[in-house]
């Protein structure tokens, strides 16, 4: 994870290989999220391409990383559309399987006026993706030590574990986004070089306590070079590596839709590491990418390009300099 010459805007030496889910997002925006048993009217409907894996792949590709996707869709119209959307976003879909008799994954999303959301998912083909396909796909893609494997958990736990195991065997950098966190065992978590939970997922993995305490609990005593990047929403993120804990603040923005913010963070982190950036710098850019993502509706439409991300970071640096000089 050493920095390379040319800066973060230069296409790097490694690839991003995303192993995860593809969904179609059916989104209703309302004034407030409904309570259990309550109906809230007056909503606006939109349909977007989604799935954490698909979103993360688009985020990485938009930042210039050569990006490959390993996953599954159903043999339905949603599946064909999902494949085409990934390909249009410069994501290689040669290892995206079409499973006969399966439905493409669906996410039902409710978003309120301040950008918070509630999501229910029907996994469909994502839940049928097997570890054998993951193993064979990563081997066909000739996974190597310069690559970054970004793995989600909206697929079978065995498939998640196998993707991380293949990354370990190839000495590639492995990022695990433990979403959802349920069902992940210590032996699976231990295969990841970087864990990227949000605060709720970190609680599910490590119980109560401050984010830094819980992160170290997940890493365990023999953490080595492993790290945890905890997403804290409007507060940014916390990077815990070894004995160090570093707060990464998020720029203040007007949130429109938080759907996909975590996916933007993960995709940007993977792209940064694949470009050879040091972990701290890759994490800083990832938080900035996630912040930009919440300013636009939809999980993927807010994913920034390299130019947009660089401009945002430059503006934040200028604002910080003015504040220090005031």
103 close to 122: Cβ distance less than 8 angstroms: yes
Can you tell me the distance from the alpha carbon of 195 to that of 26, in angstroms, rounded to the nearest whole number?
28
Residue 111: alpha-carbon gap to chain centroid: 19
Who's near 257: CB < 8 A, 6+ residues apart?
29, 111, 115, 117, 294, 296, 297, 298, 302
Can you tell me the distance from the alpha carbon of 91 to that of 68, in angstroms, rounded to the nearest whole number?
6
22 close to 107: Cβ distance less than 8 angstroms: no
Half-sphere exposure of 37 (CA within 13 A, CB side): 0
Q: Which of 147, 193, 257, 263 is catalytic?
A: 263
Q: How far is CA 84 from CA 188, 267, 286, 298, in A?
A: 32, 19, 26, 18
Q: Is 263 tagged catalytic?
A: yes
Secondary structure class of 99 (helix, strand, coil): strand
Catalytic residues: 263
């Amino acid at each position: 994870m050493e920095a390379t010459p040319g800066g973060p805007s230069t296409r790097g030496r490694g690839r991003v290989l995303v192993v995860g889910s593809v969904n179609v997002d059916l989104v209703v925006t309302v004034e407030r999220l409904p309570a259990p048993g309550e109906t809230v009217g007056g909503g606006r409907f939109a349909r977007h391409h989604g799935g954490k894996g698909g979103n993360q792949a688009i985020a990485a590709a938009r930042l210039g990383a050569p990006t490959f996707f390993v996953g599954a869709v159903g043999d339905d119209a949603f599946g064909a559309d999902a494949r085409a959307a990934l390909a249009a976003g410069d994501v290689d879909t040669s290892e995206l399987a079409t499973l006969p008799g399966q439905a493409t994954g669906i996410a039902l999303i409710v978003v309120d006026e301040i950008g918070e959301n509630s999501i229910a998912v029907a996994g469909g083909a994502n839940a049928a993706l097997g570890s054998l396909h993951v193993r064979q796909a990563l081997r066909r893609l000739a996974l190597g030590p310069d690559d970054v494997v970004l793995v989600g958990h909206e697929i079978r736990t065995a498939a998640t574990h196998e993707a991380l195991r293949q990354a370990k065997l190839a000495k590639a950098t492995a990022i695990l986004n433990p979403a959802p966190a349920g069902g992940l065992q210590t032996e699976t978590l231990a295969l990841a070089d970087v864990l990227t939970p949000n605060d709720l997922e970190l609680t599910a993995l490590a119980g109560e306590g401050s984010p830094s305490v819980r992160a170290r609990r997940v890493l365990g005593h023999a953490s080595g070079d492993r790290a945890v990047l905890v997403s804290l929403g409007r507060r940014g993120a916390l990077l815990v590596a070894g004995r160090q804990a570093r707060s990464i603040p998020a720029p203040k923005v007007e949130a429109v839709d938080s759907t996909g913010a975590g996916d933007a963070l993960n995709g940007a982190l993977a792209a940064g590491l694949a470009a050879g950036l040091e972990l701290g710098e890759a994490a800083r850019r990832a938080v900035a990418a996630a912040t930009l993502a919440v300013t636009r509706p939809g999980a993927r439409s807010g994913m920034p390009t390299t130019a947009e991300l660089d401009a945002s970071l430059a503006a934040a640096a200028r604002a910080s300099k003015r504040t220090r000089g005031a």
